[in-house]
Amino acid sequence: MNIDYSLGEIQKVARVAAKEINSDIILLSGEVGVGKTTLIKEILKTLKVNDNVNSPTFPIINEYLTRDKKIIYHIDLYRIKTIDELHSIGFFEYLDSKNLCFIEWGDIIEGILKVDYNKFLIVKKKNFRSIKMIK
């Protein structure tokens, strides 16, 4: 998957991205302000999450419930500096839960993951974004 899009097309991109997901762990990478949280919000809507989806930059992990009672985690690793911090917040237990885990700044853990995952890279270009599924 490789799509160029404007922010006005984010719902369409979210539907396509949601169909591409084939793992419980989804890493999202891209610079600050590229739209990682915006994309996750739209994907969660397609997965029937009714809650108001917010960036978990400060709480690090937000938990959402779908209409059919499935749990989805939205994790933001931007403020994480060491792997020890991940252990202290129980991060790896979330990954082992078999619930969907959307992880912003996933590059931080990509080298230590021993499980399958999907990765989306979002790049900001002049008047549009480009999203590519890498794995």
Domain range summary for the chain, segments of one domain joined by +: 2-133
Token pair belonging to 49: 């999450």
Superfamily of domain 2-133: P-loop containing nucleotide triphosphate hydrolases (3.40.50.300)
Query: Rounded CA gap, 80 and 70, in Å?
Result: 27
Mean pLDDT, the chain, integer:
93
The answer to whether residue 45 scores a pLDDT higher than 90 is yes
135 pLDDT tier (thresholds 50, 70, 90): confident
102 pLDDT tier (thresholds 50, 70, 90): very high
The answer to whether residue 75 scores a pLDDT higher than 80 is yes
Among 60, 63, 64, CA closest to 85: 60
The answer to whether residue 57 scores a pLDDT higher than 80 is no
